[in-house]
Structure 1
């Protein structure tokens, strides 16, 4: 299939306009900047890294909704104690102004309650009971080291199939949001495997915004990012480059080519992580053609 050749409709910049962005609950203090730089209706994901930040997450959802964004709160299974806890938080998040949530296992080494996997939360029926219409699930183009080292890649594929089957059989909309990485090649290969296995949910690809090499190495180590981080790690070996800023121009351009040139892969848009700060991210976005 030939890629579209309308510059206005198939540029890297037009692909970037399909972005969602991720914040922590405390970063809702950046709301004036988000309103200035993002288009109304943009999806803003609200991570939950500390289980004690739930109240702040709910408040962030409320403020984002009032500002005209579509808030997408993370619901990590390992931070949920039981079904009553799940119902209380989903009810509160829905009342704060969202019908779209990202359900994931969560990065905690041990669960605080009875759940440790996203599918366990989904099959309670609590989301539909509280008016949730769209569920996002996590994707790992380069594998999830916590799982693949022990169980292999097939387990991740099986889990995606189960989650998609549940979403579709319950009349929900769904999407996949991926872990961040640094190259488009692994995304293309992974998306091909998913499509061959019948997994056809749209994919939003995690992209680290402009940040110093030192910062990117830190996040890559924390999150177990895979082979595409080799360039970043190699750069980090040169101490004079540690504080140089890396921008994802080539990565985003490669994803744009997949989006416009191979629509069957379902690469739907970028999901931006502002690791280097919001100012760096938004200033860079203005330079993309």
Structure 2
């Protein structure tokens, strides 16, 4: 009993460490050379997401999934609906992920580009039933704590919540364990407000928060512009106006501590875990994680 109480006290003293306890990371399809550093830094069974920006890199994405599985990781491929060329190619891709790499979890997203084929949204892809057919059991869905200006402009303010409600219902009806994986951002405050809005509107899915690992201000600005992230990036852009700060390394210590405190103090918000982006490189990322854990 006393040991259990002491463990609880220790956890509450370092909310950042607790929040990073079960984090996931992300690679690109061509980063097979990073397998060894992942083996050294991550526990067996850790989730490693495989991004997909170029639809021509699907074969490399499949090979990366196989490499990760062989090395004891849980590969989680990105599945952008608008980058799927046809129902037949979707069937083939998911069959290969499942059959060759043992994939049981994917991150299904819209994709943010003009559709290459018949799928214009995540829900249109889900309704094919291909995921369940091939044994996918866990489903990540895109979350936008700072909004999505393209969707709001095209469909109105309520579109994001309505789409999440539809996808949540689909997952529940088809036995898929769904969660929300957010775009990366630079502060905890938008996550708190968004989570409260979700819960007030009946969206109960757990939240995996996208966090940029340590990187220079210059690098973070580049990714913020490429990915179109929202208001929390303003502080990074403001720092970038000072040329002398461009090569300063920014660390997400405050954000992770704040998210850890929210996780502990408001569990009803469902802020579940961290998803880390290695924008400054894996060496910097894992060194920082080790530092946080040692505090």
In 1, Cα distance between the equivalents of 2:164 and 2:108?
12
In 1, Cα distance between the equivalents of 2:32 and 2:256?
26
The residue number in structure 1 matching 2:213 is 209
The residue number in structure 1 matching 2:117 is 113
Gapped regions of structure 1 (runs ≥ 5): none
The residue number in structure 2 matching 1:275 is 279
Aligned residues of 1:143 and 1:153 also touching (Cα < 8 A): no
Could you tell me how far 1:152 is from its partner in structure 2?
Answer: 3.0
In 1, Cα distance between the equivalents of 2:223 and 2:52?
16
The residue number in structure 1 matching 2:175 is 171
- 5 Å-filtered alignment, 1:247-266, equals 247-266=251-270
RMSD: 1.3
Aligned residues of 1:10 and 1:260 also touching (Cα < 8 A): no
Secondary structure of 1:148's partner?
A: helix
Q: Deviations over 1:130-181 (max 9, x none)?
A: 1111111000000112212333331011111110000001111111100000
In 2, Cα distance between the equivalents of 1:122 and 1:181?
27
- 5 Å-filtered alignment, 1:35-46, equals 35-46=39-50
Q: TM-score, normalised to structure 1's length?
A: 0.96
122, 125, 130: which one pairs with 2:126?
122
Do structure 1's residue 94 and structure 2's residue 101 form an aligned pair? Answer: no
In 2, Cα distance between the equivalents of 1:250 and 1:153?
30
The residue number in structure 2 matching 1:230 is 234
The residue number in structure 2 matching 1:8 is 11
Q: Deviations over 1:101-133 (max 9, x none)?
A: 11111132x111111111001011111111111
In 2, Cα distance between the equivalents of 1:209 and 1:239?
21
In 1, Cα distance between the equivalents of 2:286 and 2:21?
12
Total equivalences in the alignment: 285
Q: TM-score, normalised to structure 2's length?
A: 0.94
Gapped regions of structure 2 (runs ≥ 5): 1-6
Could you tell me how far 1:185 is from its partner in structure 2?
Answer: 0.5
Could you tell me how far 1:14 is from its partner in structure 2?
Answer: 2.1
In 2, Cα distance between the equivalents of 1:277 and 1:6?
33
In 1, Cα distance between the equivalents of 2:36 and 2:269?
35
Structure 1 pair 215/265, CA: closer, same or farther in 2 (3 Å)?
Answer: same
The residue number in structure 2 matching 1:137 is 141
In 2, Cα distance between the equivalents of 1:123 and 1:277?
37
Aligned residues of 1:134 and 1:172 also touching (Cα < 8 A): yes
